[in-house]
């Protein structure tokens, strides 16, 4: 069946559908990862986005039940040059197409993903519609224009877990860590568990007083989707917890800290999505290859440099990738140190969080 991807600026891409049928809206972005499509599909930070894979062949190692990053798929649509109808891997339990059908996610293949990626780089990420139902180009472009987009949109409320829960009970836990769930990836929780932390996940709208009542040794502000400035309740909670508990922010959590410190965020032209982004640690000079997935960024110039130290910089575009409070036990990074999917260069940051909690216990 024919599928059409229509962008709000009038650009049209025609291909063949795989997965579910229907019509979906979202901001179209590109991801430069060569592997890890299952982790990408299940990353809550992709809520509201149609993801284009730049690597040409996707799906050849299939899908398994262990590599998920959340309880369901969150992408609005999936765009590839060619999907593999055959899943050849000893861990594979189903095919990519079967997985998309099962979760009602639209896929399109057979389009020139290089052309689409170059167009997004030139024109920027933009609103789009993916459809197997409407064959009219003008109609689809208008639908894309009329869709809500991401700016000013609180998508955290659509991905956060509604109830508090314990990730995994362990004996003789070293620390109790509260995770404010804005769309947390499972591997963040797995990494904390490796360090013998008792991990308690709470909904994004949990108040600061409720968190302090649990007497945590540390707080982790998780990743998540959408415009950080729109999630005012998390910003306020973060602001109230500054100086009262050690805090580690990842991705959206990093942006929440930036806003709570009085800084500003802005939308990047086409975002950072992939597993090959070079980030420099300004203290050591070491460059890590990192996993990234974000469309917004904290404005470096908006931060109070008397209180906040810049720790990491993106070497592709010099944007802010990490910061630390000069006096309080607080630090954050824009990239994903949990490395799912992607390189393990930045996993040491979980160790730094542990050392920070140990120091301020």
Domain boundaries, the chain: 2-146, 156-359
Q: pLDDT tens for residues 216-231?
A: 999 999 999 999 999 9
Active-site annotation holds for 309: no
Fold of 156-359: Rossmann fold (3.40.50)
Contact criterion met (CB below 8 Å) for 262 and 242: no
DSSP string across 298-334: E-GGGS-TTTEEEEEEETTT--EEEEEESSSSEEEES
What are 55-89's pLDDT values in tens digits? 999 999 999 999 999 999 999 999 999 999 999 99
> Is pLDDT larger for residue 340 or for residue 134?
134
Tell me what pLDDT residue 319 has.
98
Burial (0-12, 13-18, 19+ Cβ within 10 Å), 38: buried
pLDDT tens-digit profile of 247-306?
999 999 999 999 999 999 999 999 999 999 999 999 999 999 999 999 999 999 999 999
Strands 77-79 and 106-109: parallel
CATH pick for 2-146 out of 3.40.1450.10, 3.50.30.20, 3.90.1520.10, 2.102.10.10: 3.50.30.20
Query: In CATH terms, are 2-146 and 156-359 the same topology?
Result: no
Could you tell me if 262 and 112 are in contact, meaning their C-beta atoms sit under 8 angstroms apart? no
State the distance between the two ends of the chain, measured CA to CA, in whole angstroms: 60
42 — pLDDT class (breaks 50, 70, 90):
very high
Is 273 in the active site? no
Catalytic residue among 182, 197, 251, 297: 251
Q: Is 251 a catalytic residue?
A: yes
Token pair listed for 37: 């499509």
Q: pTM of the entire structure?
A: 0.96
Pair of tokens at residue 350: 């979980």
Which pLDDT score, from 0 to 100, does residue 98 have?
96
């Amino acid at each position: 069946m024919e599928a059409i991807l229509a962008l709000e600026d009038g650009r049209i891409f025609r291909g063949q559908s795989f997965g579910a049928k229907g019509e979906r809206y979202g901001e179209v972005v590109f991801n430069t990862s060569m592997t890890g499509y299952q982790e990408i599909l299940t990353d809550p930070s992709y809520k509201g986005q149609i993801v284009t894979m730049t690597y040409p062949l996707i799906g050849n190692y299939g899908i398994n039940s262990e590599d998920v990053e959340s309880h369901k798929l969150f992408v609005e649509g999936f765009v590839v040059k060619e999907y593999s109808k055959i899943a050849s891997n000893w861990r594979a339990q189903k095919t990519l197409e079967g997985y998309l059908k099962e979760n009602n996610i639209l896929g399109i293949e057979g389009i020139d993903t290089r052309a689409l990626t170059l167009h997004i780089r030139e024109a920027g990420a933009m609103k789009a519609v993916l459809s197997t139902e409407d064959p009219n180009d003008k109609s689809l472009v208008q639908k894309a224009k009329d869709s809500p987009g991401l700016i000013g949109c609180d998508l955290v409320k659509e991905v956060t877990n509604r109830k508090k829960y314990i990730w995994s009970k362990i004996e003789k836990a070293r620390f109790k860590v509260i995770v404010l769930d804005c769309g947390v990836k499972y591997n963040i929780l797995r990494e904390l568990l490796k360090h013998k932390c008792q991990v308690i996940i709470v909904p994004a709208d949990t108040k600061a007083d409720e968190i302090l009542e649990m007497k945590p040794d540390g707080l982790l502000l998780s990743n998540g989707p959408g415009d950080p400035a729109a999630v005012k309740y998390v910003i306020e909670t973060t602001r109230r917890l500054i100086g009262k508990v050690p805090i580690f922010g990842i991705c959206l959590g990093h942006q929440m800290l930036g806003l709570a410190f009085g800084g500003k965020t802005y939308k990047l032209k086409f975002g950072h999505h992939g597993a090959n982004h070079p980030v420099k640690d300004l203290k050591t000079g070491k460059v890590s290859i990192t996993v990234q997935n974000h469309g917004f960024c904290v404005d470096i110039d908006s931060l109070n440099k008397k209180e906040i130290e810049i720790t990491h910089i993106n070497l592709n575009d010099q944007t802010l990738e990490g910061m630390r409070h000069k006096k309080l036990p607080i630090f954050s990074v824009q990239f994903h140190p949990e490395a799912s999917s992607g390189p393990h260069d930045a996993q040491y940051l979980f160790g730094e969080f542990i050392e920070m909690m140990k120091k301020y216990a």
